[in-house]
Amino acid sequence: MLLALCVMVVGLALLMWSAERFVGGAAVAAGQLGMPPMLVGMVIVGFGTSAPELVVSALAAHDGNAGIALGNAYGSNITNIALILGITAVLHPITLHSRVVRKEIPILIAVTALAIFQLWDGELTRVDAWVLLGVFAALLGWSVWEGLRQRSDALGGEMAQALKAHAMPLRRAILWLVVGLVLLIASSRMLVWGAVEIAHALGVSDLIIGLTIVAVGTSLPELASSIIATRKGEHDIALGNVLGSNLFNTLAVVGLAGVIRPMPVEAAILSRDMPVMMGLTVLLFVLGYGFFGPGRVNCWEGMAFLAFFAGYTAVLALSAFG
């Protein structure tokens, strides 16, 4: 177990480093090649920060570890809202101005409802998985259309400033993109192996490990990017990262895992984890949509998110060891 723990810690550290290089290289390269900043923010950064979840769940599905594959995706969604937005809002209140990011919140609610409907029969079939990937393709097309159309949106302005601050030659950006991708795959393999070994050693299910250690680990890139963005006043990028990541996790990550290997769905996912994920998404809609002005998640609301995450984690621990 000690070896598995060491491999997992090294894998997590390498995962964070490689994910940052991968997303940063991709964003700068896309900007250098003429992609509008709005589109870079919505597609490259918004979806790219979920590259760790995609690789980890795909590898877990290939190995037949359905608990880690699904737990990683849905646990990351819960972590993104409750933990990452919670920490970010406590450090610096988040104010939402972008019209495009606002539109993504009700879309995320609809996508979450679709996921619950698909899993209601206790399995994720290949048909379910292809439907998820089809919806993701449509959403990606919408993102491209919005990114080309909404050039004056707040998200585009913030992304343009971020790209300018991290300017680098195109060759270096492509190098970081390739190196980041290779190390991302290697570190994800280390993380999956270590997580499975630890789960077996502790006698807990793969699902619990996927919902906790793996989900938090693969969500660390979103935490780093959101904190950095809010400190720079780029609030729409911070919230857009979380929304884009959750959409990507629910559609592309679960969809790809299901195409690789159809999998059974544990009852606890439907009775415990999906209601939590939906509840947090609806709460984020209430706080962040801004019916009468800019949406806002303040310090106290961030603390409430963190308290909720602590309570949810305690429930998971009780179910594993109780």
Q: Name 66's Cβ contacts closer than 8 Å, sequence gap at least 6.
A: 60, 206, 261, 263, 264, 265, 266
Taking the C-alpha atoms of residue 78 and residue 236, their distance in angstroms, rounded to an integer, is 19
Residue ranges covered by each domain of the chain = 2-321
Give the lowest-confidence range in 37-41, 70-74, 129-133, 188-192. 37-41
Closest CA to 84 of 233, 274, 238, 234: 238
Q: Which tens digit of pLDDT belongs to each residue from 154-202?
A: 555 555 665 666 667 778 877 877 887 788 778 877 877 888 788 778 8
Q: Which tens digit of pLDDT belongs to each residue from 68-120?
A: 999 999 999 999 999 988 988 888 887 766 565 677 788 999 999 999 999 99
Taking the C-alpha atoms of residue 313 and residue 255, their distance in angstroms, rounded to an integer, is 26
Q: Does domain 2-321 have CATH number 1.20.1420.30?
A: yes
Closest CA to 81 of 270, 244, 266, 258: 244
Host H or E run for residue 215? helix 215-231
